[in-house]
Structures are given as C-alpha cells and as structure tokens.
Amino acid sequence: MIEGEGRYIVDFDDIPAPRQKVPELSIEERAGNFKEVELGFAPEMAVSEAGRCLSCRKCLGCALCLAECTKKAIDFEQAGQDIELVADSIILAPGAERFSCSIDDKFGCGIYTNVITGLEFERILSDTGPYGGLVLRPYDGEIPKKIAFVQCADYHGEGCECAYRSLAYAVKEATLARSKVDALEVSVFFSGAGEHEEEFGRLHEQPSSFRVVKGEVLSVSEVEDSKNLVIKFVENDQPPQEEEFERVVLSTATRVASNIEEVTRKLGVQTGKRCYWEKEDTSLSETSRPGVFLAGYTF
C-alpha cells in the first residue's frame, strides 16, 4: 500500500490583524462593588476576532510547535514523500454520515436551542465530546429528565429500510443516555414501520426502558420561560395531543461515509450493498480481497 505524505506550508505577505483586547471596567468603576470586570466583546469585535482567527491559514512559521514538542518530532526541512507500508492485513473502520435529507422547519432544528440532531447528541454522549460525556441541555447546562427522539426525515426513494435504521439509531442512543442519567424518561416517536413491523415490535417490548410512539409528529414548539419543548403528535389515528420535553433529538438514518468508496476502489475491494448497522457486533467482516477486512457498526 502506498501512502502519500506531504507538507502544508503557505507563503503569504500580509500579517493577520492583532488580537482583540477584551474591554474592562476602569479601576474607578471597580471600587466598592462586585461588578464583572471583563465586559466581553461587542458584536463587531467578536466578528473581527473570528475573522482574525480564521486568517492564520494553518502555519504562520512561528516555530512554537517546535519549541513545545518535547519529542522533537517537528522537522521544517522535511519534504513530501511516498511511504510504502507492508502489513499482514488491512482493516477499514470508517465513520458514518447522515443521509442528505432536509429537515422540516416544523421540528425546530436550528430554531430552538434544545432541539439537536442525532449526530450532535452522539457527540454529547461521547466521553471526548463537548460535555465530557455528561447529558446536558445546551440552553442551561441542566441534566434533562425527559427526552424525546423524533424521526424527522422523509426518505422517499430510500425506502422504509432507511426509516427503520433511523429508529434503530435513536433506540441505541436512547439506551446509552439512560445508562448515564438515572430515571431518565425517553420517548421515541416513529412515523411508520412498514415491512419492519416485526423489528418494530421487538423494540416495543421494553416499556420500562423507553416508550415508543408510533405516530406522526405535527410540530415542535418552545415554552418561552423554561425553553422546554412541546411536541404535538397523532398516535394510532387518535385526536392530536401534546406533551412537554426538556430536550428533543432529531433522528435521521446514517450511512457509510462517502469517502469509503474511494478507499475501497484504491484497495480493489468490492463492498456490495452494505448498510449502517447492518450487523450489531464489532467482529471483522471479510471482503472480496483476502487480507482486507471491514470493522465496526458501519458495516
């Protein structure tokens, strides 16, 4: 296998703008009170600082990385090269990406702070995520006691298989969330099971773990004071009803990352029609080429 390794050095003549200084109260204004000293950036200052940060273009040539690297792994004289690696086997373990499907505004995605996507919730659940694995609300940092997972995408030509996978994805996340938060109430809203009615029924067998609601979600709205979310839905052809939750997670189906096709083509591997979470264990799967294996939930 040949792996290309190059360097990223950008030559530029301009110098990025100086860093913005956070405004502070004067010494006279601080005396005799507990007012916050640092006033924070004004909007125009924040925009300017963000632009300055993005203007660095990777490497400024300051050599601070060389000074901080105790292993002396930085070599500014290193040139691009091709490296030939010899291995007994190759294991492909790519990530996954969400289907390119639109999310209707009625679900409040990008509108309400406590409405997030399944992939965002996955990062929150991760120990390396933004909250260190704690299940917190983005709005106030509180631990929610009642969460709803909502299947929010219409897959059209992708068919019921994608719809069911989005439900399975939500159930896995719901199970993990319940392991992190005691007495967490979880409801999973699913618009239809179709040919996967049997699998849907199995997911419905654990009412003590979470509740699965087979019905259509009509809208998601926000409670102004608490920032909780009200889901309006129809279940089993009954009149519309409403229920309040502290967080809503919008679930969409996932699939193998798009770059895996290029990788498998370079390796001469035929993957066939494989789906995200097609199998629920992490054992290796053989491919059409001996010595090359697929691993992880992705396959």
Q: Given a cut of 60, is residue 196 above it in pLDDT?
A: no
Give CA–CA dist 122/93, Å, rounded: 18
Note the pLDDT of residue 30: 85
DSSP assignments along 67-116, one per residue:
HH-TT----TTPPPEEEE---S-EEE---EEE-S----GGG-TTTSTTEE
Using alpha carbons only, what angle is made at residue 232 by residues 229 and 235, rounded to the nearest 5 degrees? 130
Q: Given a cut of 70, is residue 40 above it in pLDDT?
A: yes
The percentage of the chain sitting over the pLDDT mark of 70, rounded to a whole number, equals 70
Q: Given a cut of 50, is residue 129 above it in pLDDT?
A: yes
Interval 105-112 mean pLDDT: 87
**Residue 261 neighbours by CB under 8 Å, 6+ apart:** none
Q: Which CATH superfamily is domain 104-251 in?
A: FAD/NAD(P)-binding domain (3.50.50.60)
Give CA–CA dist 255/98, Å, rounded: 6
Note the pLDDT of residue 154: 55
Domain regions of the chain by residue span:
1-86, 104-251
End-to-end CA distance of the chain: 22
Nearest to 165 by CA among 203, 129, 133: 203
184 within 8 A of 178, measured Cβ to Cβ: yes
Which of the two residues, 103 and 282, has the higher pLDDT score? 103
Note the pLDDT of residue 59: 66
Which of the two residues, 109 and 6, has the higher pLDDT score? 109
Decide: pTM greater than 0.75: no
